[in-house]
Amino acid sequence: MSNPRDLERLARNINPGGWAIETDRPIATLLGSCVAVCLWDPKLRIGGLNHFMLPKFERSANKDLDMLLCGNYCMEALMNGMLARGAQKKRLQGKAFGGGNVVSSLTGVSIGQRNAEFAREWLAREQIALLASDLMGPWSRKVILDPQTGEAFCKRGQTNQSIAEAESAYENTLVVAPKKTDIELF
C-alpha cells in the first residue's frame, strides 16, 4: 500500500479544468463543489485524473468559459488521453470524488450535486465501473491518485473560506451576463 503523505509530496497538482495522465508520478487535486474522476488501466498501470467545475458546457452569455472546466469535455479529454497512451476502454476503472455543497446555490440545485450526478451518469453511459466514490456532503477534499497501483486517497477537510469565496464568485459569473466592451476581436 502506498503512503499518502509521500504521494502528496511527489504529486503533480491539477487545477480546475485540468487533467493529467501518469505512469509513475502521483496526481493530486483539491476540490470543493468540483468533481475529480480517476481512470486507471490495471494492465498498463497507467492512471489519469481530471478536475471539472460544471457538469456540461452549454451555450450561454458567458462565452469565455473554458470548455475543459465542464465535465462533458473534461471527461472526454481524460478518456481520449488514456486511450492515446494505449489504455483500453474495456479495462478502465473509475473513481469519483468531490461535489461538496460548499456554497449555497443560486439555482436551487447545488453545483456539487449536479457535478456528482454527471460523473456517475457519464461513467455508467461509457460502461466504466465506478469502483469507489466519495461524493457530496459539506466537505472540501484533497484527492491523490497513485497511477502505479490505481489507489486513490481522499482526505476530507473543512471547507475553508477561500474555497467557498472562489466558488461563490465563480457561480455569480455564470448567472450574470458579461459587460459589453468596445473591443472587437477578429
Beta strands 129-135 and 93-98 are parallel
Entry pTM: 0.80
Burial 56-94 (b: 16+ CB within 10 A, else e): ebeeeeeeebeebbbbbbbbebbbebbeeeebeeeebbb
pLDDT greater than 90 at residue 111 = no
pLDDT digits (tens, 9 = 90+) for 44-97: 999 999 999 888 756 554 555 556 678 899 999 999 999 999 999 999 999 999
Active site residue 74: no
What are the extents of the domains in the chain? 4-174
Tell which residue, 71, 72, 79, has the closest CA to residue 46: 79
Q: Which of 34, 38, 70, 74 is catalytic?
A: 34
Angle at alpha carbon of residue 150, lines to 145 and 48, rounded to 5°:
55
CATH code, residues 4-174:
3.30.1330.200
pLDDT surpasses 60 at 140 = yes
